[in-house]
Amino acid sequence: MNAPFRFTTCRAGSEATLKRDIAAHFNGGLTPAFMKPQLITWKVRQPGFTPPHTLSHFARVSGISLGLCHSVSEITDHVRKLDAQKPLRLHAFPRITPEDGVPTEEWRRSDALEADIRHALQQTGVQWETRLPYAPGDLILDVIVGETDAEPIFLGHHEHQPASHTHPGGLPRITLPEAVPSRAWLKLEQALAWRGWDKLDLRGETALDLGCAPGGATSALLQRGMHVLGVDTGDMDSRVLQLAKAQNVRFEHWRTAAGRLNLTALPHEPAVLLCDINLAPPDVLPHLARIQDAIQARRLILTLKLNTPALEDRAHEFIDAVRRFAPAPVFATQLAANRREICLTCG
């Protein structure tokens, strides 16, 4: 029997976009039900209709809704009724997620609740899976913590898929350092954590960073021991060169537009092609396709700017365009640090 409700979490401000995207792609099969900032549940309207695991690229987490709970004992009752045939993973995370990172005190609240739930369920014989890596189909219990202790706890679950976040709520515990040149540092670190690429040893590898100024993402790459060729008409922060020298790696800045690059001078098969150009996808994607065809980068991390509702509504079209030139698999999500944009990883 199909579960009657689904849930999604999203960034603050993307609730309307998420609703439009789901309405457009499920033809009335899902309609909004319970709504809070950054959390929407959906009623499954069509008999026999089973929604996919991921409902939208604008949803960080999608799953089956189990409803609101007021105590750990209520959560325990729900979990015992799941009758899971394999061990569970437990994800507790705050509903309200600032774009520059969840404050430590909020994580403490979620962690304390998670510990209570874990202990209570272990007393009933529930086994928790903690081994890495995650496997497709792993059952994850989502415990979404409200703004105050008085707010009911939202409970749901989802099955892990290759494009799913492994950090609770899609929220790696990374905050924006004061010393980096821009927020692009945080977006890149979150993208790497999402795909598990933060575990790769990239020392001595080469990256091509399109739209590199003022140097946030470039700094993250240099900190990982990579050599970086940055392309941007804008100025780089002076700290970038200092960091490259301190890390004993190369950084080169080509002050030109991506559309004017001499393709024969670019490095062949770089480990990473990064793009965070502040132009709409129709203006950026043709240049990306041309560059990737020439250099054959092994991995791509792309930020697509969707600064209008019309561009947001074309997100699927842009993702399909990337699939035509990028190495597979191509995954897309809206990271916690993204604003009106989505992140694509390829390879």
pLDDT averages per 10-residue partition of the chain, 347 residues: 85 96 92 96 86 92 96 93 81 95 94 96 88 92 95 96 94 91 96 96 98 98 98 97 96 96 96 98 98 98 98 98 98 96 98
Q: How far is CA 187 from CA 93, 127, 145, 200, in A?
A: 19, 34, 24, 17
Q: Are 181 and 239 in contact, with CB atoms under 8 Å apart?
A: yes
The CATH T-level fold of domain 5-170 is: VC0802-like (3.30.2130)
Q: Are 133 and 211 in contact, with CB atoms under 8 Å apart?
A: no
Q: What is the pLDDT of residue 1?
A: 44
For the stretch 158-163, contacts whose Cβ atoms lie closer than 8 Å and that sit 24 or more positions apart, written own/partner, are 158/53, 158/61, 158/62, 158/63, 158/64, 159/53, 159/63, 160/89, 160/134, 160/135, 160/136, 161/53, 161/54, 161/136, 162/136, 162/329, 162/331, 163/54, 163/329, 163/331, 163/332, 163/333
Residues 196 and 190: their CA atoms lie apart, in Å, by 10
Whole-model pTM?
0.94
CATH class of 184-346: alpha beta
* Backbone torsions φ then ψ of 93, nearest 5 degrees: -155, 155
The CATH 3.30.2130.30 domain(s) of the chain lie at 5-170
What is the distance, to the nearest Å, from the Cα of residue 251 to the centroid of all Cα atoms in its chain? 27
The CATH 3.40.50.150 domain(s) of the chain lie at 184-346
